[in-house]
Amino acid sequence: MIEAAGYAPTIVEYRKTGWTRDKLGDLLAAMDAKPRDVLREKGTPAAELGLLDPSVPDEAILEAMVEHPILVNRPIVVTPKGTKLCRPSEAVLDLLDRQPDQFTKEDGEVVRL
């Protein structure tokens, strides 16, 4: 959707490269979010690690996210207009100065703009 709007994004393959604690902390601060706000549950070891219990402290979740990058939900988009977890993908539109004329998601869903 970002490319369809005419932007050339820089994509960080964090599942391959991992996170630094500082980078992840900076992104969370920019979003005014807590680690639990971006914790990915499906298809991850979140339950096995006991991270779904509400009593687990933010610091423990953050440490687990650094150790297991897949625990971070995606995509997190950073633009001059802000930083945001863009799920659903249409949420990215709030961060763009221009929007695509039309967009069809990978699953065939047409996004009306």
Share of the chain above pLDDT 90, in %: 64
Residue 59 binned pLDDT confidence (cut-offs 50, 70, 90): very high
Which domains are assigned to the chain? 14-111 (3.40.30.10)
**How far is residue 29 from each of residues 16, 33, 72, 103, measured CA to CA in Å?**
23, 6, 15, 30
Report the pLDDT averaged over residues 93-109: 87
What tens digit of pLDDT does each residue of 25-46 get? 999 999 999 999 999 999 999 9
Asked if residue 75 has pLDDT above 80, the reply is yes
